[in-house]
Amino acid sequence: MVNYGGDEVSALVLDIGSSSTRAGYAGDDTPKAIIPTSYGAITSPDGDVQMSDSDGNPTAEKRKVYIGHSGPSLWRANMEIHNPIADGLIQDFNPIPALIRHAFEDTMRCSPSEHPVLVTEPAWNTPANREKMAEIMFEEFQVPAFYIANTGVLNTFAAGKGSALVIDVGQTMASVIPVVDGFVLRKGLAYSGLPQLVYAQARHILTNPTQARPAIDLTPHQLIFNKQPVELNALPIYTLREDRAAATTPSWRSWAENKEVEEWVQSVAGVLDQGWNDQSAAMRPPKQYEFPTGYSTWFGAERLTVGEQFFWHSPQLMNSPGAPRIIPSLISDSLRACEPELRQVLMGNVVLTGGGSLFTGFADRLANEMMRTFPHTKIHAPGNPIERRYGGWLGGSILASLGTFHQLWISKEEWQEHGSAIVGQRCK
């Protein structure tokens, strides 16, 4: 199976993000399996319910877990939605084996026990977390070899650089990661839950009335029995699925509504490239959007206030202690922690990545913000959305496909001999 000289190691690459889990073969340019990281679970009041096949957790005997594309997005009575990731890190390892099994075995139809597996990790991952991941891979999945690689470094390398300032905007976290000669400069690491605030703000905009429109009803399509076509701006006419109302859990409802907000943000929201200005905001063309209820309207300047949250907060919000740091603050905090000589190198090599950065106007605005303080800024932002969204996975895919990389894998024998300590030694 393993071939030294050539590039045939048939390794698997796994990248678990807060919104989606990406899995695929090393050497491919896109992941084969892209499944939601959130999962549904139904806890039965009695113990008679049979355990789900995909549920690897013996303590949750009364719990049935639904993972994948037919997981959280299908309505089920009393199904709660959970997500194992918090602040970019895996907080709950219980559903992780089931998630990995679903990605590799159910979606890709391959057995991880026959392939080396490269897993990615965020720059601020803890040693305990990576060792736990190694343990799951070796003990649960019996992988022949394992490696864990930092997404910050993978993104730097994928941009053809040894040193770079990686700006990674994901679904829940925004981070600025200085990478120098292939290593993350830990002291310069800066991250915050900014995207969560942006989505909360978008939801706030939608669910509150304006002069031009009423508050928007975010009822997801799963709860709508039927609807009638209505004129633009007219109130929606639809009937709810009353049969589902009682058994819909608050966590499922909020998950589904957030999906609607995300979709709206992705198709309509944007950011002005030169900073907020009422006039230029009014000059931007409005965009139309139709919600699952059938209501549709045009969104003008308000769609641009959403992206503004990435770059500017009111002084009131900036000074409140719990508020997530905005992108310019993350960048300046990160640079302040780095030596002055390094700053120039980093600013000359900025790498923009993450699905959240695909926001309309984001790269231009970022460039303008950075030029103000550092005129020599050069931003590398892959135009190909796949490269941007799955940059970490893609970097891992290339690395794991190299014949020469073989010597860096942690083999099962090494794991058995040295235990978890080898993970920290080998994967730097």
Partner 1 sequence: MASGVGVNSACLEEFTNLKLRKKTDNGEILKYIVYNLNKDNTEIVVEKTSASGDYEEFLGDLPEGECRWAVYDFEFQKEGGIRNKLCFFMWSPDKAKIKQKMLFASSKDALRRALVGIAVEVQGTDIDEVAYESVLEKASKGN
Q: Which residues bind partner 1 (CB under 8 A)?
A: 5-7, 29, 149-150, 153, 156-163, 181-182, 345, 348-349, 378, 380, 387, 394-395, 398-399, 402-408, 427-428
The distance of closest approach from Cβ of residue 335 to partner 1 in the complex, given in angstroms and rounded to an integer, is 17
Tell me the C-alpha distance between 21 and 102, whole Å.
10
Percent of residues in the chain assigned helix, strand, coil, to nearest 5:
40, 20, 40
- The residues near 98 (Cβ < 8 Å, ≥ 6 apart) are 39, 54, 55, 56, 57, 65, 67
Give strand ranges (E) for 29-111.
Answer: 33-36, 39-43, 63-66, 80-82, 85-86, 89-90
The distance of closest approach from Cβ of residue 354 to partner 1 in the complex, given in angstroms and rounded to an integer, is 16
The distance of closest approach from Cβ of residue 406 to partner 1 in the complex, given in angstroms and rounded to an integer, is 7
The distance of closest approach from Cβ of residue 244 to partner 1 in the complex, given in angstroms and rounded to an integer, is 45
Nearer of residues 83 and 151 to partner 1, judged by Cβ:
151
- Give CA separation, 263 vs 207, 291, 337, in Å: 15, 10, 36
Nearer of residues 301 and 408 to partner 1, judged by Cβ:
408
194-207 vs 250-268: helix axis angle to the nearest 10?
Answer: 90
**Other C-beta atoms within 10 Å of 221: how many?**
14
Nearer of residues 216 and 379 to partner 1, judged by Cβ:
379
Tokens of 66: 């639904």
Nearer of residues 63 and 388 to partner 1, judged by Cβ:
388
The distance of closest approach from Cβ of residue 46 to partner 1 in the complex, given in angstroms and rounded to an integer, is 50
Q: Are 133 and 89 in contact (CB under 8 A)?
A: no
Tell me the C-alpha distance between 189 and 165, whole Å.
10
Nearer of residues 156 and 201 to partner 1, judged by Cβ:
156
Nearer of residues 279 and 407 to partner 1, judged by Cβ:
407
Taking the CA atoms of residue 338, residue 339, residue 340 and residue 343 in that order, the dihedral angle to the nearest 10 degrees is -40
The distance of closest approach from Cβ of residue 14 to partner 1 in the complex, given in angstroms and rounded to an integer, is 16
Q: Nearest to residue 25, comparing CAs of 8, 2, 1, 6?
A: 8
Nearer of residues 3 and 267 to partner 1, judged by Cβ:
3
Nearer of residues 34 and 379 to partner 1, judged by Cβ:
379
The distance of closest approach from Cβ of residue 147 to partner 1 in the complex, given in angstroms and rounded to an integer, is 9
Nearer of residues 322 and 340 to partner 1, judged by Cβ:
340
The distance of closest approach from Cβ of residue 382 to partner 1 in the complex, given in angstroms and rounded to an integer, is 8
Nearer of residues 148 and 194 to partner 1, judged by Cβ:
148
What are the start-end ranges of the H helices in 269-405?
278-283, 302-311, 315-319, 327-336, 340-347, 362-373, 385-389, 391-401
3-state DSSP assignment of residue 18: coil
Q: Which helix (H) or strand (E) holds 184?
A: strand 183-184
The distance of closest approach from Cβ of residue 350 to partner 1 in the complex, given in angstroms and rounded to an integer, is 11
The distance of closest approach from Cβ of residue 110 to partner 1 in the complex, given in angstroms and rounded to an integer, is 22
- The residues near 81 (Cβ < 8 Å, ≥ 6 apart) are 38, 39, 40, 41, 72, 249, 251, 252, 254, 255
Burial bucket for residue 209 (CB in 10 Å: 0-12, 13-18, 19+): exposed
